[in-house]
Every structure is written in C-alpha cells, then in structure tokens.
Structure 1
Amino acid sequence: MKLLTLNFLTCARKTCKTNPAAFPLHPREAELEQIEAEINPLLIQNLLPRINWEVLKTISQELGLPSLPESAPDSEDFMTEEGEPTQTLKDLHTLLMEMNVQNGKLVCGSCEHEYAIKEGIANFLLPSHMV
C-alpha cells in the first residue's frame, strides 16, 4: 500500500466517523519497501493540492522517514531551469509513489482498532460486533 493512500483513509467504525482522531490512521510495526518508478512531475503537481500536508508530515515522521518542510512546496520548485527534476520533486516522488507498506498495522487514533496490512493490502473488514 502506497504511503499516498494513508492521506485518504479513516477508521471504518461508525462511532469514529465524526471523531477527528480517526484520521489519519497511524502506521505501526510497518515494513516499508521502495519500488522504483519513473518520475512524473505533472502527477505530483496535480496531487499536491489534494494532499493534507500535515497528515503527510505526521505519517512520514511516524515511519522514521526524513522530515518534510513546514508547508507544501510550490510546483515551481519541481524543475530546474535546465528542465531537470529538483531534489524536492525527487523526494516527494519517492515518498508518495515509491514507498509502500508491505506488512504492519494501521491504528485508529480514536478507538485504537488495528487494521492489518499483509503483502501490501490493508484489511478493513470489521468483526460484526464493531460494525
């Protein structure tokens, strides 16, 4: 599961729907894998306005990845005058598109329910008593 996905997931329990602590889900015991992909500056540029930067910073910090700047970079910071990708673009690409959680857990900050991640797939099925 790509780290980008964590920017959009929340707890599946009905009791957590209105609780702000249910977002984001926090990775625990995460095994990360980096799968290289070609840089697509336009994709990153179009994703950036849809990303909750504070959540991305929190997740990056919880996983022990390099810290992100206080605010999201401008798309003008993505390419050099020579048309080459900047380090900012490379770092964002690596974080959003190449880093995958292979195994571990996602934990709700509200109810502390743990969603297992196995082989890159999170299991969001709840037991019947939690639905």
Structure 2
Amino acid sequence: MKILTLNFLCCARKTCKSSPASFPLHPKEASLEQIETDINALFIKNILPRLDWEAMKTLTIELGLPALPTEPPSPEALEDPDSGEPSQTLKDLHQLLMETSIESGALRCGNCDHEYAVKEGIANFLLPSHMV
C-alpha cells in the first residue's frame, strides 16, 4: 500500500465518517518497502494540491521517515529552473509518495481505535458484522 494511498483513506465505520479523528489512519508496527519507479513529474505536480499536507506530515513522523516541510512545495520548486530537470524536492516527494509502501502492519482509526490489518501490501477494510 503506497503512502500516497493513506492520504485518501479513513475509517470504514459509519459512526467514524463524521469524525475528523478518523483521518488519517495511523500506521502501527508498519514494515516499509521501497520499490523504485520512474519519476512522473506531471503526476506529482497534479496530485500535490489534492494532498492533505498536515496528514502527510503526521504520517511521515509516525512512520519514522524524514519530516516534511511546514508548507507544501510550490510547483515551481519541483523543477530546476535552469535545466528543467527534477529538483531534489520532487525526487524526495516521488520517493515518499510513489516508492514507499507499507508491506505489513496495521492501520488504526484515531476515533474508534479499530485496526485494519495490512498483509503483503494490501489493507483489509472488511468490518466484522457487529461493527457495520
């Protein structure tokens, strides 16, 4: 499960949908995996405005990854103005969002404390019948 995906997930319980504590889900005992991919600068530029930056900062701290800056980078900061090559900021964001995955562990809801297991990079969001 890519780190980027966590920015779009919240608890599956109906009672948690209205609670701001249900987002983001908090990784617990997460085992991370790095899988190299080619940089897609256009994708990163387009996804950046859709990210909840505060949630991303929280996730990186909880996963023990390098801290993100206080504010999201501007699109201009993602390319070297002289050469048009990807900047270090773009490379770092690509590595965090696209190459870093949670291989195993759990995702915990901050509202109800329910844990969703992650095995082989796939989170199980099926709820037991008493929680639906």
The answer to whether the superposition gives a TM-score over 0.5 is yes
**1:77 aligned counterpart, secondary structure:** helix
**2:89 aligned counterpart, secondary structure:** helix
The aligned residue for residue 105 of structure 2 is 104
CA distance in structure 1 between the aligned counterparts of 2:27 and 2:2, rounded to whole angstroms: 12
CA distance in structure 1 between the aligned counterparts of 2:56 and 2:13, rounded to whole angstroms: 22
Q: Structure 1 stretches (4+) deviating beyond 3 angstroms?
A: none
Count of matched residue positions in the alignment of Structure 1 and Structure 2: 131
The aligned residue for residue 22 of structure 2 is 22
Q: Which amino acid aligns with 1:2?
A: K
CA distance in structure 2 between the aligned counterparts of 1:116 and 1:19, rounded to whole angstroms: 21
The aligned residue for residue 68 of structure 1 is 68
Q: Which amino acid aligns with 1:43?
A: F
CA distance in structure 1 between the aligned counterparts of 2:74 and 2:90, rounded to whole angstroms: 10
Q: Percent of aligned positions with the same letter in both sequences?
A: 66
Provide structure 2 residue ranges, at least 5 long, that are not aligned to the other structure.
none
CA distance in structure 2 between the aligned counterparts of 1:128 and 1:116, rounded to whole angstroms: 16
Q: Name the Cα RMSD after superposition.
A: 0.5
CA distance in structure 2 between the aligned counterparts of 1:32 and 1:8, rounded to whole angstroms: 19
CA distance in structure 1 between the aligned counterparts of 2:56 and 2:17, rounded to whole angstroms: 20
Q: Which amino acid aligns with 1:91?
A: D
